[in-house]
Structure 1
């Protein structure tokens, strides 16, 4: 049984193994120690008058048992099997010590193995038992002992056991370093993914804001000018009696009408794809249907009948928040039911999203940014809503589901530009 291949005692983390040259050197060193001590013990036993056959048999038994531990299946080896192997090794050693006290020097190998293979409490008890055998063996064989026979093994045993425990601690620290490095690599990968997602979200938000601005500018300038030209041409055509002038005015009116239709199409295409029909409720219904079809989640949508026509930026902000929230539900909540409600709250519009998933600790989320990838989605959602003058309220608890309430002010909802009125819906006076 090699020190580097044996399972760790209970209570220790899985060991990070040393490098391959170190492993090989420790294995060879351990077997050399066993071989050298056994040979020395057998030779000294024969020199003390022990029959050569008995001394050699005892030495071979020790080497055979020690070597057998090398061939035990390491991957499937349990800590209990290791303990019983060590107990068996101690029994063989005691039998050899009964043949000759010269074999007591193999106690150093037992102390090394005990410090590595046994928990501290049992390792100390086992080491004390081994020292007791070392101290008693000379007395049983010769009727006397010496200070050297006591203090030499005692100091050596403490040293061997300490080295073994120190090596075990090094393995534990190596495993902890390996775990920390792995955790750091995972955190870096997650951070990289989040940064990519943030960059995409920022580009998307910038593109939406720019398209919305261009759409509003076209509506407020070109579309209104074309509408005015059409009305002026129509009014002038009704007052003129010159056929040629009437024809020109009709052509101007027709050209203005065609151009106005083109401008309306361009403005409609500049709006976010999900809001092409101008209905936030319809867009929410589509993404809820997608969640139901792809994830098997029961979905409900409730829309307040008194909800006014919302500005484009408000619709876009609420839609993006709903998309982010539903993505969190599908990926992290393990929910079976989601309810989305659009509520008219007077000067603000509120969107509530409630699921029956696993939930999380809101207090911990408010204080820390390490809850998981979903926490970043919630923070990005809150930041987006705050930029629009609104906010996000979160209510949740472990095992209690999650309730999100996103709210935005309805700014200038009574004007054509802010309310989402399309060009041409209002004719200039």
Structure 2
């Protein structure tokens, strides 16, 4: 059975108990009046007293029902500065009952309903005090027919105790039910808040995914298309600067080959596939881009391999290849070098890539400050390469000086599991 079903059953039980309480008082009054009339009690005073008792009860019955369904906080026996409206109504009901009892002792057993109401409407101490006073009246008037006896004292006492215990137990049950409802409402509110937080977290993750994908695309576009366009632009400028038909033809062939290669690379980037040069391994890919660089620029490009640098996870190979492409692009555009050496080396648990040229060099701090590393003015490639390497647990260092060439050194741990998201 679900929690909602249990609550519904308990609420139905409370309603039935309230109805039984109302019917009990009516039955006790009717039976008392019938017995009193049978014993010769004057009808008019009896009917007036009984009518007043029932009318007063009907006026305050709603208060008793509300107190049953919505009990207040647990009482320590104090009246909290005075009786509530239900308590005053109960005292009025006791007064009506005393009048009816004075008219006929047969109405004394309406006291059972009074004991029940005392347990519902009064704090425990007040209910006990009122119950004892009513018990005294019952015992005093209850032996009118047979005279005083043990049963005349024990019977009402047991009835009073039972009525008070029953009413207090019912109050505890209703109070626990109300507390359970408040707890369930609190849990529902907490669940709704958790769902809202989950939705916010999911939105934040989606935004982070979008940002990561944009970062990936910006890196790949820079490392492939932008460098390809830069290469084609330099070759085209070289072609316009010479009148040698053979040289122009060779440059046009190089432009066509570079455009075809980078078009294929663009398709692979869009399809999120591995770069074509890596299909035969990192070493061959670096040699291939170095050979193309030498053909296009006339700058001698040498590749050295020191140790075992094969068998790397694809994210490591891609990152090192992109770093080599970025370094060569910087040599092409800024270094005015005659020779560049690319070294792939095994360094313990890491793999290192060094790109060293004999160009004009620069002051790293001044170059960074002048360029502010904006994609529109250049300088973005090394920053993106450094971010890629750091995502894999590696790093990138640049050493240079005016007239001393430039050395770009990248290293990354072999076999790291922290791969960038779809870096290729």
**TM-score of the pair, normalised by structure 1:** 0.51
**1:21-420 equivalence runs, <5 A:** 22=13, 25-70=16-61, 80-138=84-142, 145-242=148-245, 245=248, 420=373
Distance in 1 of aligned mates of 2:155 and 2:366: 94
CA RMSD, 1 decimal: 4.5
Question: 1:111 deviation in Å?
Answer: 0.5
Question: 1:212 deviation in Å?
Answer: 0.4
Deviations 1:394-415 (A, max 9, x none): xxxxxxxxxxxxxxxxxx9988
Distance in 1 of aligned mates of 2:163 and 2:93: 17
Distance in 2 of aligned mates of 1:182 and 1:414: 63
Distance in 1 of aligned mates of 2:57 and 2:380: 100
Question: 1:242 deviation in Å?
Answer: 4.9
Question: 1:42 deviation in Å?
Answer: 2.3
Question: 1:143 deviation in Å?
Answer: 11
Distance in 1 of aligned mates of 2:134 and 2:66: 29
Distance in 2 of aligned mates of 1:73 and 1:121: 18
- Per the alignment, residue 381 of structure 1 pairs with none
**TM-score of the pair, normalised by structure 2:** 0.51
Distance in 1 of aligned mates of 2:105 and 2:377: 111
Question: 1:89 deviation in Å?
Answer: 0.3
- Per the alignment, residue 357 of structure 1 pairs with none
Distance in 2 of aligned mates of 1:124 and 1:413: 92
Is this contact kept in 1: 2:111–2:138, CA < 8 A?
Answer: yes
Distance in 2 of aligned mates of 1:233 and 1:415: 29
Distance in 2 of aligned mates of 1:225 and 1:96: 109
Change (3 A) 1:149 1:231: same
Change (3 A) 1:427 1:212: closer
Q: Secondary structure in 2 aligned to 1:239?
A: coil
- Per the alignment, residue 281 of structure 1 pairs with none
Distance in 2 of aligned mates of 1:414 and 1:37: 103
Is this contact kept in 2: 1:413–1:419, CA < 8 A?
Answer: no
Change (3 A) 1:73 1:88: closer
Distance in 1 of aligned mates of 2:99 and 2:87: 18
Distance in 2 of aligned mates of 1:69 and 1:413: 91
Question: 1:138 deviation in Å?
Answer: 4.8
Change (3 A) 1:24 1:196: closer
Question: 1:245 deviation in Å?
Answer: 4.0
Deviations 1:41-83 (A, max 9, x none): 2233344443233333322222222222246798899972211
Distance in 2 of aligned mates of 1:74 and 1:38: 20
Distance in 2 of aligned mates of 1:194 and 1:172: 33
Change (3 A) 1:19 1:235: same
Q: Secondary structure in 1 aligned to 2:375?
A: coil
- Per the alignment, residue 313 of structure 1 pairs with none
Distance in 1 of aligned mates of 2:32 and 2:65: 30
- Per the alignment, residue 8 of structure 1 pairs with none
Is this contact kept in 1: 2:63–2:86, CA < 8 A?
Answer: no
- Per the alignment, residue 378 of structure 2 pairs with 425
- Per the alignment, residue 347 of structure 1 pairs with none
Change (3 A) 1:161 1:24: same
Unaligned runs of 5+ in 1: 1-15, 264-411
Distance in 1 of aligned mates of 2:45 and 2:85: 29
Distance in 2 of aligned mates of 1:419 and 1:201: 29
Deviations 1:176-209 (A, max 9, x none): 1211222222222222222222222212211211
Is this contact kept in 2: 1:42–1:102, CA < 8 A?
Answer: yes
Is this contact kept in 1: 2:373–2:379, CA < 8 A?
Answer: no
- Higher Cα Rg, which structure: 2
Unaligned runs of 5+ in 2: 1-6, 73-82, 267-364, 382-405, 407-424
Change (3 A) 1:74 1:124: closer
Change (3 A) 1:25 1:143: closer
Question: 1:419 deviation in Å?
Answer: 7.3
